[in-house]
Structure 1
Amino acid sequence: MDDATLWWVLAGLLVAAELASGTFFLLMLALAAAAGALAVYAGLAFSGQLLAAGLCALLTVGGWAWVRLRRRAASPEANPDVVLDVGQTVQVSAWQPDGTALVRYRGADWLAVASGPHGERHPGPHRIRAVQGNRLVIEPVDHP
């Protein structure tokens, strides 16, 4: 059995294991095995094949892990697909000395705080940036 066949068999086994377990990372490793097989066709020695498979594994697994971390870092409380209030506007009539404001939204009074540690606090229209429990995190409408 030649080297390319061994790489393709390894790729097939990894795909089968991924189908059995549902682990997406095994699919990335199967792509790396396919890269090893393609390296055989390119005429690379075994060390070159391992390097191609290793680089492909590093890029695909690392890239997928990075994408998952970025998704997890994005707060669901500020995601308009999860919280439909995000992006809506409210009117702030006055700010309290403690940095909060009482705003009327959806027929009820809500406690609102400015976004950021030293958010701008002036009366007027504000956009809901996130909902944290029963508090609205807001920013001025003219804020970029």
Structure 2
Amino acid sequence: MTDLTSWLVAAGILVVAELFTGTFYLLMIAIGLAFGALAAWLGLSGPLQTFAAASVGLVATAILHRSRFGRPARMEATRDSNVNLDIGQRVVVDAWQGGRARVMYRGALWDVELGPGAQPEAGDFRIVEVLGSRLIVANS
């Protein structure tokens, strides 16, 4: 197997692995390996091919890391609707007692607290956070 083929097979394997994992970092390394294949196609020596692949892969990874795609959202799990499906759901509060209440939600009694800026009035509320067995709500 020629150097060109080896670089392209390695890049292809990383592209397939990236499709299974969903991370762009493997794709950046695959781009580096593709540049290694380009260096092999140009007839450069083995160490220069490796240097080209490594340097392009590192630069591409660094650029990705500094972009908005390289940084995960810094949202707390207690407020993230992708983690907790209760976030955004509605509850009805009949009466408040000092900023706290008890409501029936999903067939069980839950403690409810007002979130920042919420007004303690009876009615429909939206869940904005779940802290243990407490629902933090905001006016809807």
Could you list the runs of 5+ residues in structure 2 that have no partner in the other structure?
43-47
Question: Retained in 2: the 8 A contact 1:7–1:36?
Answer: no
Question: Retained in 1: the 8 A contact 2:102–2:110?
Answer: yes
Question: Retained in 1: the 8 A contact 2:87–2:130?
Answer: yes
Deviation, 1:91, is 1.7
Secondary structure, counterpart of 2:78 in structure 1: helix
Instruction: Please identify runs of 4+ aligned residues in structure 1 that moved more than 6 A.
Output: 39-42
Report Cα offsets for 1:65-88 as digits up to 9, x if no partner: 41xx32xx3333334454332222
Deviation, 1:131, is 1.9
CA 1:58–1:35 in structure 2 vs 1: closer, same or farther (change >3 Å)? Answer: farther
For the aligned residue pairs, the C-alpha RMSD in angstroms reads 4.2
TM-score by length of 2: 0.57
**Partners of 2:108 and 2:58 in 1: CA distance:** 57
Deviation, 1:126, is 0.3
Question: Retained in 1: the 8 A contact 2:4–2:41?
Answer: no
Could you list the runs of 5+ residues in structure 1 that have no partner in the other structure?
none
Residue 95 of structure 1 aligns to which amino acid in structure 2? W
Deviation, 1:135, is 0.3
TM-score by length of 1: 0.56
Matched, 1:126 2:105: no
**Partners of 1:5 and 1:90 in 2: CA distance:** 62
User: Identity over the aligned pairs, expressed in percent?
Assistant: 30
Aligned twin of 1:95:
96
Deviation, 1:106, is 3.0
